[in-house]
Structure 1
Amino acid sequence: MKKTPTGTWLPAWVPESSLTLSVLLVLCAMVQSATGGYDGSMLNGLNILPSYTDYFDLGAATTGLNTASVFIGGFFGPMVSGIAADRLGRRPAIFWGSVITLVGILLQTAAQNIAMFVVARIVLGFGSAISGIAGGVYLSETFASRWRAWGVGLLNDFYYVGALIAAGITLGTGEWDSTWAWRAPSLFQGIFSALCIVILPFIPESPRWLVHEGHFEAARLAVAQTNSNGDLRDPVTVAVYKEIVDTLEWEKKTDGHSMSPRQIVRTPSARKRLLIGMSAGPFSCVAGNIIASYYLGPELDTAGITDTVQQLKANVVLNVWCLGCCLVGTHLVAQWGRKPTALLTQCLLVVCLFVIGGLSKVYADDPDGASKSLVYGDVAVMFLFQGFYSIAWTPLLYLYPPEVMNYSIRANGLAFSSFMLNAFAVLFVFIMPIGLANIGWKMYMVNASWDIVIVGLIAVYWVETKGKTLEEIDAIFEGEKHSDVPDVEAVRRGEKTVDVAAMDMQLVGVDVKPE
């Protein structure tokens, strides 16, 4: 461990092994996303439990309110998360977001009525939004470019780890004859935020935030720790560091020193980056997964599976399946690319929704005469849908936006993407149980229709970011890279060489003396 300056009040003792540090960064990603996954799966289970629905005397509207209230907090969290990440630092923003999340979880566990439960979930959603957005920005800026797709992709992949744990816990407590059947799963949700707080002292601050704030030696050390086992004079480390310094200096000269939310729409390039980057949030939200993510019980009801225990078991199996699919998807995103993977997934989702809608209609027309093959076929396609969704949208949700956005708009841009996602989610999570109750199978057909529009938007407007550092992606939008160093991956592969001493001389006014 090496005591590492962070430029903030939150200290760090960082392992010099880049591999060990990457594992810690992955664990940080895991606990961030596991909270959200746990929440979705837990509510899925609770909405099936009579001990929960009877305690709050829930109807369709109050079920939607209890479930969707977390997105109200998620709606307001992004309004401050970008500013907090820019001003306080990436790690302190993650810390305070985790603390607020813990407060919301404790209130949720102790809820005595619907009002208290809703307020608690708003607080929980607010804290999760802050830590999640700061975590997405932090990991995209800190991971070495060769590991970024996996490192940041896992930020949302572990959604299903949390979901699987919640599904197992709600299955285990489901037969308890007390309110702890739902309070215990709620209390368990706090373990992820607690783990995040424990990990933070052992990972460095974002090198890009450090450079922007003028902490150059700390930034170079952070780059060395994540790329070359702490070797400050490694060619890859020097190339990455100089690329960051040159690009941020160009941004300051071109865009000014403002880091306010208005920066995201200040220039044509910023607006283009924002629209492309933030689209991942709304696109993933309206794709159709909300039905199975929060209302698996009603969805299975439409397919003829109404037994509570069978629905809880289906919830467990679904999350195992989705975890495997999103890991496959992260591999595709890293090897094949962001845009092709998104297009493949979205097309498969359209097909699945039309099939689910058709099979559900056949069952709805004659529930008593429906064959078991029809019921199981409908459930199988529902599972395929969630798996296909997981292939692209799970890893891309937090990977793609910070890649597309440059430093000056990254935190606020990702916050805006999350804001739009939660705005849509508040609406869709609330209306889904009402829509399923009133129009049944037609809800799937409506969802499939707007998914076709999303396919076209991705095909026309998305750009590919695979294999590039965050600074090298500038060339796609600005027409040029704002540093004269060779591309980092070319240096790493030995295709290009760098003169470390010469680069040190070029960093005029920056103290780059290695320790």
Structure 2
Amino acid sequence: MTAPVQEFQTQRFAKWWKDLGLRKLLAWQATILISQMTTGYDESVVGSFQSMKPWVKDMGYPDSSRIGLITSIVFVGGFVGALVASPTADYFGRRVGMFVGSTLTFVGTIIQTAAQTAGMFIGGRFLIGFGISFTCVAGPSLLFELAHPAMRGTISSLFNVLWYVGSIIAAWTTFGTGYMSTSWSWRIPSLIQGVPALLVMMSVLCGLPESPRWLCANHRIEEAQQLLAKYHSNGNLHSALVIHEMEEIHILLEAEAAAKKSGQNSWSVLYRSPANRKRIALVATIALLTLWNGQGVIAYYFSPILTSIGITSTPQQTGINGGLQVWNLLFSLAGALLADRIGRRTLWMISFVGMILANVPLTISSAMYAQHGYKGASYTVVIFLFLYDAAFNLANNPLLYCYPTELLPFAIRAKGLSVQVAVSQAALTVNQYVNPIALDSIGFYYYIFYLGMLILGTCIIFFTFPETKGKTEVELAALFEDPKLDRADPITLEGLEAALDHVSEPCEKSAVVTKNQASNSL
């Protein structure tokens, strides 16, 4: 890590709350984090609706196939929206992407709340999913690009942690309204779902800062420098940190400009160079590994799992589920805080090995109860369900958006995140239909399939996931261009310029600025 960032970490990072610029920046970033509450809220609240008699009546007593459509349509909307979210964030800015996504989500929430038929409810949910995809593309990008270098890893890791905050709020809201006998039992929780989107819309209208990298890419260099100075150095335009950040942005953007001139400003940029193919392959792999590791079965079918081991009363199931959500939030926070301490790669390995260690006794205990009815085995299952989720949330939750955002350079960040969101939504749709059938057909044997997936995932992480801890954006951009860089000691800015001279197809030698040129351009 370069000197200006190290200096901030050692002298000021421990007292960020005394820094006016950072306090303002963190307040703005909190509104970006809030956007992810909508996702967690949505995926929790719909399951609760299905146990409410007024909702069942208002939806026309839907059968299992209609309920499957109601649940999965939000993922379909997310898949379609992901294809549009990237150009919006790239051409109009990250702020516009956040505003469009939040507006669509808010409108979808209103339609869903006012629904008089299942068709209207489904239409609202499609729009909600469509909007969520925008905030899932623009949100992590803006969060990462606004963050102070010394806080970037931790702040980026917190984005998906807010998923559980939304989930917990949804669980307790529906618990409170579930006793109502009118349609307001589900309309009130549905209406509350629009609150995070409304807050994000208001924050954009009230001046949410734009990404400095996007400003520089659109020739608004002075505005970008002022923004960095305001939030990273309390208005000091000539601080070493601001100058360093501007130099870093210029080096990256000049190199990426060559890619645009060579005809790589379209989606083809994702696969034309070996480096970008590696990045996109990793991003898609992350999306699949986080959804096909067995935790999704626990998350979406917790009640049937508890029923299968003899825990059938509603108070017991509600209490265990409520405790599990708080447990998940705590371990997600722990993972976000550990990401900058032990590294992303290490955290991924701990998470997947931990899930393997929990999967084996979970499968054995489930089998013992299913075959012999041992009461003690049912309690063991609950314990290992909690441990499974703990291991999952150490990495899979906080790093789901943070790690891909670090792997993707600015020029393809929005496109790459769109790919991740699209793959995630497609995988979620598959899960929605496959998991219940598999659980019903083969029961605990389904865990064995996921044990194989966990072992495969661990091997993929060990052999292909690079470490991104402590690296600047320029170092991250150069990471995939030279296989030796991810094993090398931290390199200097001058060394990075030399590394970028040898980047693959998109970047030609003439496109790279030297340190002096970058300084003069300020």
- TM-score of the alignment, normalized to the shorter chain, above 0.5: yes
CA distance 1:504–1:470, change in 2 (3 Å):
closer
1:468 corresponds, among 447, 467, 471, to 471
Q: Post-superposition shift, 1:386?
A: 1.6
Contact 1:44/1:297 (<8 A) preserved: no
For residues 303 and 47 of structure 1, the distance between their equivalents in structure 2, rounded to whole angstroms, comes to: 22
Larger deviation: 279-288 or 346-355? 346-355
How far apart are residue 336 of structure 1 and its match? 0.5
Cα distance in structure 1, aligned partners of 2:49 and 2:364: 28
Does the CA-based 8 Å contact 1:32-1:193 persist in structure 2? Answer: yes
Give the TM-score taking structure 1 as reference length. Answer: 0.87
| Structure-2 separation of matches of 1:24 and 1:485 | 36
* 1:423 corresponds to which of 411, 422, 426: 426
- The Cα offsets for residues 88-142 of structure 1, whole Å up to 9 and x where unpaired, read as 1000110010000011111222233333322221111010011121111111111
Cα 1:338/1:103, change in 2 over 3 Å: same
Q: How does 1:317-356 map to 2 (within 5 A)?
A: 317-356=323-362
Q: 1:382 to 1:508 in 2, by over 3 A?
A: closer
The Cα offsets for residues 310-341 of structure 1, whole Å up to 9 and x where unpaired, read as 32222221111111001111122111111110
Query: Counterparts in 2 of 1:16-415, with a 5 A limit?
Result: 17-53=20-56, 56=59, 57-200=61-204, 201-256=206-261, 258-366=264-372, 369-371=373-375, 373-415=376-418
Equivalent position amino acid for 2:164 in 1? Y
1:357-383 Cα distance to aligned partner (Å, 9 max, x none)? 3222222235xx441x32222122112
Partner deviation per Cα, 1:464-510 (whole Å, 9 max, x = no partner): 111112222123222378953999xxxxxxxxxxxxxxx99633774
In 1, distance between residues paired with 2:170 and 2:32? 18
Ranges in structure 1 where 5+ consecutive residues have no aligned partner? 1-15, 488-502
> Partners in 2 of 1:292 and 1:108 — Cα distance?
27
Q: CA deviation at 1:408?
A: 1.5
Structure 2 regions of 5+ residues with no counterpart?
1-18, 486-490, 498-513
Q: Would the aligned equivalents of 1:44 and 1:296 in 2 still touch at CA under 8 Å?
A: no
Shift of 1:58: 4.3
Q: Normalising by structure 2, report the TM-score.
A: 0.86
- Structure 1: how far apart are the matches of 2:518 and 2:366? 64
Alignment partner of 1:484 is 2:494: yes
Count, aligned residues: 478
Comparing 238-247 with 286-295, greater Cα deviation is found at 286-295
Distance 1:430 1:121, change over 3 A: farther
Task: Name the SS for the 1:319 alignment partner.
Answer: helix
Correspondence for 1:6? none
Whole-angstrom CA distance in 1 between matches of 2:363 and 2:115: 37
Q: Secondary structure at the match of 1:156?
A: coil
Over aligned residues, Cα RMSD in angstroms?
2.3
The one-letter amino acid of 1:336's match is I
